[in-house]
Amino acid sequence: MPPCRENGGMRLAAEIALARTVGRLSRLAGRGGGTTLPGKLLVALDPGAVRRLAAELPLGAALVSATNGKTTTAAMAAEILGARHRLAHNRAGANLLSGVASTLLEARGVAALALLEVDEGALPDVARQVAPRTVCLGNLFRDQLDRYGELELVAERWRDAVASLDPSAIVVVNVDDPLLADLARGRERVLRFGLDDPSVARERLQHAADSKYCTDCGSPYAYEAAYVGHLGDYRCPACGAGRPALDVAARAIELDGLERVSFDLVTPEGTARVELPLPGLYNVYNAVAAAALALALGATLAEAREGLTRFRAAFGRFERIAVGDRTALVLLIKNPAGANEAIRTLVAGGSPPVAVVALNDEIADGRDVSWIWDVDFEPLVPGLERLVASGERAEELALRFKYGGLDPGRIEIVRDVGRALDRGLELVPPGGQLTVLPTYTAMLALRGVAATRGLVRPFWERDPAGTDPARQG
Amino acid sequence: MPVRIRVAHLYPETLNIYADRGNIAVLERRAAWRGIGFDHVPVGIGDAIPQDANLVYVGGGQDREQALVAGDLVGKREMLADAVAGGAALLAVCGGYQLLGRFYRDRNGCELPGVGLLPHFTVAGERRMIGDILLRCELDPGEQRTLAGFENHAGRTFLDEGAEPLGQVVHGFGNNGEDGFEGCRIGRAIGTYLHGPLLPRNPWLADWLLRQALAHALGTSPVLTSLDDTIEDTAHRVAAGRARARGGRG
């Protein structure tokens, strides 16, 4: 039991009761599941509440942050660790301080370990308050420049956050990302992960690659293998600095279209073959990150392998939704690196003839839509018979494809996301699959439509163990 | 004899943060749709700017990347000045716009020399100016137009006395959030903070640049055939609406 400071326990209990009531009311009122409102209230009432709630957890807290893949990585780690511990996990993706507060509140007295996905901008603040025993850092890509500023500003804030962690905390870090490898340097308790299979590397760095200059001397890196964006096996030809040795790695990677990917998970505990029921190299990164994190938290290699094999897509991340006799395959896109990998995976599985792409420009999407021009949509163009451009900035997206070489006669603009879904499904033959690529708030709108029609359960009701029948492909 | 233009694209591998390749794609397609040949010439560190370039493009980068090319760009001063004096068109966006000015004064008061092609200087600011922006322009006498874009810059740029801006800010911050000017223009050379990227939703400016490049290539001012810009015009209206609703204020 934590010590009771100045009646803090009593005060916290009263605040918690109030905040929980707000959560129930919010859900009853149909407002987005009430996943952040109680936390917002609690943080406003008592700025120290998160610190105390986290301190109550018998096994402490682990944080997962990254530009891309944090929701999936955290969900995979939850699948692995859920076999052993009761978890507090913000699986609906409420990843700011208020979402963390809500999650800790909801799981108080029940959970032993908190597994928290954290927004990359919020990481320093959340880490300060939660005092995690493990932090998993996945990657930093250019994303929403209007919100966070430039990549290196975020990296500097992460550097400070890592430096202020307790020395006993373990940093699980993707050293295929040069910026992240650099900020964990010199720390004692570090678990380094990455990919180690040049046969699946890209031929060259993609257009929008970030962080391609040596963190020591500024010369461009030479890549032995570039896997996703600037992530890979790099070395500076000028000063010789390169990727550190990997503690946890994926080798012998086999990509199998849109269905799955298998790989050897190589760890200090030994090697296991993992059959991951999700496609794409970026999901190998997520899986290796989750496995490394779980191992750092005491899971066994067998548990890691089993958890990853059981895993089903987090919502909107390669999720299949059955609609009558057709299927919608939903892939969230939110920045160039993530979108490029989604497209690369799609095209490898057979280029889709019909796609709905929905672009919104709310704060969560990024108000600056220029990032769509850094996405390599071109590989989709030759196979596309019909594009339904949707969302609040549907025309910008239509222009992206028009100037990317798609005949404008093949483009339809349907701004409303629900109607665009219907139109897309109409264009697909019975038994066929519609590809849907929404930005974040467009995905939420789409899920709202799907939930209203009873196609999926609202996200706050979903079973974290992956047994939700609505999302079994 | 087929009509062609040559476009020198400076540092495409380094200065590309705000989707600069979108601007290039728009110029290239709109030329191709009219049967105009388009030679895209990437110009990197240590490379010369082709003397027969009809249009020069400079994009923007993150601080580290801008610092990497700044010295090289200053070394290209003569080549740039010759190209522009000879009547080549130029578009510089965001970081490229800053680098083409006389100097950049950082937070410690140090002045880093610029190319000095455009009559302005930039001072590091504390607060980033971020948001949708709408300008009113008149590049050709009597032809009032609007430009809709997105701006995201901490540097505050000030035009020299008598220098011509690209346009007047209707909604948004502009060069410095104070004087209501945005961008800078000398003849066929334009610098601006507007990205988004700029040209897809402002096709009239793309065509203006193509006309300037063609005039340089041919020695006569051509008339371009018109294109179906239905989607472009709607995108412009939506972006202009965004600037009205939530553009920055100085």
Q: Which domains does chain A have, with CATH numbers?
A: 54-310 (3.40.1190.10), 317-455 (3.90.190.20)
Mean pLDDT rounded to a whole number for chain B: 93
Question: So what's the pLDDT on residue A145?
Answer: 60
Q: Is B25 on the interface with A (CB under 8 A)?
A: yes
Q: Do B17 and A146 touch (CB under 8 A)?
A: no
Contact between A403 and B25 using a beta-carbon 8 Å cutoff? yes
Residue B242 touches partner A, C-beta closer than 8 Å: yes
- Cβ of B19 and A372 within 8 Å? yes
Partner residues linked to B181 by β-bridges: B168
Confidence (pTM): 0.79
pLDDT of residue A133: 96
> At B195, is the secondary structure helix, strand, or coil?
strand
Contact of B232 with chain A, judged by CB distance below 8 Å, is answered with yes
Radius of gyration, alpha carbons of chain B:
17
Q: What's the rounded Cα separation, in Å, for the pair A268 and B4?
A: 61
Determine which one of B94, B120, B171, B216 is catalytic: B94
The per-residue pLDDT for A361 is 95
For the question of residue B195 being annotated catalytic, the response is yes
Name the nearest CA neighbour of A329 among A450, A221, A410: A450
Position B226 pLDDT exceeds 80:
yes
Kindly state the greatest CA–CA separation across chain A.
70
Q: Do A367 and B231 touch (CB under 8 A)?
A: no
Q: How confident is the model at residue A350, as a pLDDT?
A: 86
Residue A222's beta-bridge partner residues?
Answer: A235
CB of B68 within 8 Å of a chain A CB? The answer is yes
Q: What pLDDT sits at residue B250?
A: 44
How far, rounded to the nearest angstrom, does the alpha carbon of residue A199 sit from its chain's CA centroid?
Answer: 25
Q: Please state which of the four CATH numbers 3.30.1540.10, 3.40.50.880, 3.40.50.720, 3.40.50.300 is assigned to the domain occupying B4-244.
A: 3.40.50.880
Give chain A's contact residues with B (Cβ, < 8 Å).
Answer: 142, 145-146, 149-152, 207-208, 213, 218, 361, 367-374, 392-393, 395-396, 398-400, 402-404, 408, 411, 413
Q: Name the amino acid, one letter, at A343.
A: I
CB contact under 8 A, B130 and A372: no
Taking contacts as CB-CB distances below 8 angstroms, the residues of chain A near B202 are none
Residue A42 has a pLDDT of 79
Residue A354: what pLDDT? 97
Q: State the average pLDDT over residues B120-138.
A: 94
Angle, CA A468 vertex, CA A464 and CA A469 arms, to 5°? 170
- Which of A37-51, A160-174, B35-49, B149-163 is predicted least confidently? A37-51
What span, in angstroms and rounded, lies between the C-alpha atoms of A369 and A391? 12
Spatial CB neighbours of A316, under 8 Å, sequence gap ≥ 6: A330, A331, A332, A438, A443, A446, A447
DSSP assignment of B56-98, as one string? EEE----HHHHHHHHHHHHHTHHHHHHHHHTT-EEEEETHHHH
Q: Do B21 and A399 touch (CB under 8 A)?
A: no
Interface test with A, best of B14, B18, B62, B192 (most A CBs within 10 A): B62
Say what the ipTM of the complex is: 0.96
Question: Are A57 and A113 in contact, with CB atoms under 8 Å apart?
Answer: yes
Residues of chain B neighbouring A403 (CB-CB closer than 8 A): 22, 25-26, 29, 200
Residues of B in contact with A150 (CB under 8 A): 17, 62-63
End-to-end CA distance of chain A: 44
Please list every residue in chain A whose beta carbon sits closer than 8 Å to the beta carbon of residue B201. 395-396, 399
For testing contact with chain A, the best of B68, B231, B242 (most A CBs within 10 A):
B231
- Mutation target to probe the A interface, by most A beta carbons within 10 A, among B15, B17, B127 is B17
Kindly tell me the number of DSSP H helices and DSSP E strands found in chain B.
6, 14
Chain B residues within an 8 Å CB radius of A149: 128
B149: phi then psi, degrees, rounded to nearest 5 = -155, -165
Contact A400 B22 (CB under 8 A): yes
Active site residue B40: no
Query: What is the nearest CA distance from B201 to chain A, expressed in angstroms?
Result: 8
Do the Cβ atoms of A150 and B231 come within 8 Å? no
Give the active site residue among B9, B120, B195, B216.
B195
Write phi, then psi, for A410 (nearest 5 degrees): -95, 0
Interface contacts A/B by beta carbons within 8 Å: 93
Cβ distance B196 to A369 less than 8 Å, yes or no, reads yes
pLDDT tens, N- to C-terminus, chain A (473 residues): 343 344 455 666 777 777 777 666 555 544 455 567 777 887 777 778 889 999 999 999 999 999 999 999 999 999 999 989 999 999 888 899 999 999 998 888 899 999 999 999 999 999 999 999 999 999 998 776 655 567 878 889 999 999 999 999 999 999 999 999 999 998 999 999 999 999 998 877 666 567 778 888 888 899 989 999 899 999 999 999 999 999 999 999 998 878 889 999 999 999 999 999 988 899 999 999 999 999 999 999 999 999 999 998 766 677 888 888 999 999 999 888 889 988 988 998 889 999 999 999 998 898 999 999 989 999 999 999 999 999 999 999 999 999 999 999 999 999 999 999 999 999 999 999 999 999 999 999 998 898 888 877 655 444 443 333 333 22
